[in-house]
Amino acid sequence: MQLPRYFDLTGQSALVTGGGTHLGRAMATALGELGAHVHIAGRRLDVCEGTAASMRDAGLDAHAHCVDITADGEIDAAIDAIASRHGRFDILVANAGGSFTRSYMPDASIEEFRRTLDLNVTGLFRSAQAASRHMIRARRGKIITIGSIHGQLTADLRLYEGLEFWRSGPPYHAAKGAVVNLTRSLAAELGRHNIQVNCISPGQIPQATSDPEFVERCRVNNPLQRTGQADDLKGAVALLASPASDWITGHNLLVDGGWSIW
């Protein structure tokens, strides 16, 4: 097989949870550019539909779904519908996640901790289970989880000194650490069915609402001396969703501009 064909996803069906904004939007676009039928899921249908419409305007095949991965049965129904529509289900990018942290030690909220684990870990587990049922029958599939540099490194609190905004904390760091090891466990469970499970762990990739001073502190402390962009994940998702990664499983790919080498 010639190298370009290793990255060809023509005819494959893919679901990106949390695909309506930021990192999810970039990864969904990448899959569409490689020829996949892309389905974007999130709790805000209008946001998902807006992203899908932009992708269709660019000539890509994209569809929107309203899905809460923490609710019983919703992710199962969405994946079943995608498989029925295309006759196959090939790629899951389990991107939905986030932080609810508004309180810190020693007064941290147990409810915030539980909600963070439910979204990032239990939601991922639900999504992977629903996807794997179809992939096992087909004896092929790619599951991509989304971790964070905080899955292996905690936050350097010095970066936040003097800034007034909510930062992620122990609940999010614990959840993303669980995502990384859950990825390895899923890879072990599903490998015999020819399903590859890998994790992408992004570094600091700011949004428009991010504090400018914090963004600059991250930039100057990064080995590459630049700010991460959502499109920096497009190559990583292309690799892990395509036949180019058929011999890669259980891996945690850090896409952080070298932040974790210090």
Global pTM?
Answer: 0.96
Amino acid letter, 218: C
DSSP 44: -
248, 198 in Cβ contact below 8 A? yes
- Longest pairwise C-alpha distance within the chain: 57
Position 99 scores a pLDDT of 86
Distance CA 99, CA 85 (A): 33
Distances in Å between the alpha carbon of 48 and those of 16, 24, 65, 111, 181? 10, 10, 7, 28, 29
Name residue 36's amino acid: A
Report which residue type is found at 189: E
Q: How far apart are CA 206 and CA 92, in angstroms?
A: 24
pLDDT for 123-167, tens place per residue?
999 999 999 999 999 999 999 999 999 999 998 889 888 887 778
Q: What is the pLDDT of residue 2?
A: 87
Q: What is the pLDDT at residue 102?
A: 76
What is the pLDDT, as a whole number, of residue 209? 86
Q: Please report the pLDDT score of residue 104 as a whole number.
A: 82
Residue whose pair of structure tokens reads 């991922």 in the numeric block: 124
Angle at 244 between CA 241 and CA 245, to 5 degrees: 65
Least Cα distance to 77 among 125, 124, 48, 41 occurs for 41
pLDDT digits (tens, 9 = 90+) for 86-129: 999 999 999 999 988 778 888 888 999 999 999 999 999 999 99
Q: What is the CATH number of domain 3-261?
A: 3.40.50.720
Q: What is the DSSP letter of 120?
A: I
The answer to whether the CB of 235 falls within 8 A of the CB of 29 is: no
List the catalytic residues. Answer: 172
Q: 246 to each of 70, 74, 197, 219, 251, how far by Cα in Å?
A: 30, 29, 10, 34, 12
